[in-house]
Structure 1
C-alpha cells in the first residue's frame, strides 16, 4: 500500500508529495477548488491550504477533506507526473 511520507504545500494551491515507494510529484488542487463544494471551498484560501497534513498516510486538511495516497499516486502515474528516484 502506497502512503504519503512527506508533503510541502505551496502558495499556488499545489502540494509537493513524497510517497513511500520513493516517488515524488507535484499535485494541483485546482480541479477540486473549482468544484466549489462545502469540503473543497476552503482549499481556495491559501492560509487554509497551507494547513495540509498527513493522516494515516493520506493527504488531509483540518475540515476533514482527505485524499488517499493510493488514488493520488494512481492519477499522477497515469498522467506521467510521478518522478521515480533511483535507489
Structure 2
C-alpha cells in the first residue's frame, strides 16, 4: 500500500497529529529533524502553518518543505512492534 496523509492537525511544539489512508492515526514529533533545509521550521508560528497537499499526499509548508509520508508514518509509529519489519524495509530501522 502506498501511504498518504489524509489529515493533519497541529498538536504542540513540533508535533503533528496525522491520519493516514490505512486508517491509523498518531502523533509525529519532528523536533529532531529541524536542521538543514528544515531549519526555518524552528519558528513555531511557521511550523504550525502546514497543510496536507492533495497532490503530494503529505504535509507541506509555504516555504516549499515537505516530508515523505512514509517517514511521518515511521515517526508516528516507530515503537509499534507490528510495524518493525516494514520500517526495516524502508530503511528506517536497522536489522
Q: CA deviation at 1:74?
A: 3.8
* 1:77 lines up with 2:93 in the alignment: no
* Residue pair 1:11, 1:46 contacting (<8 A) in 2 also: no
**Cα distance in 2, alignment partners of residues 71 and 11 from structure 1:** 19
Q: Which has the higher strand share?
A: 1
Who is 1:50 aligned against?
48
Flag structure 1 segments of 5+ consecutive residues without an equivalent.
82-87
Matches within 5 A, 1:8-87: 8-33=9-34, 36-37=35-36, 39-55=37-53, 56-80=56-80
TM-score by length of 2: 0.71
Pair 1:12–1:74, CA change in 2 (3 A): closer
The higher relative CO (CA closer than 8 Å, separation ≥ 6) is in 1
Structure 2 gaps, min length 5: 82-95
How many residue pairs were aligned? 78
**2: CA distance, partners of 1:11 / 1:72:** 16
Q: Which runs of 4+ in 1 moved over 6 A?
A: none
Task: Identify, as 1 or 2, the structure richer in helix.
Answer: 2
User: Alpha-carbon deviation of 1:75?
Assistant: 4.5
Indicate the RMSD between aligned Cα atoms, in angstroms.
1.9
CA contact (8 A) 1:2 1:20 kept: yes
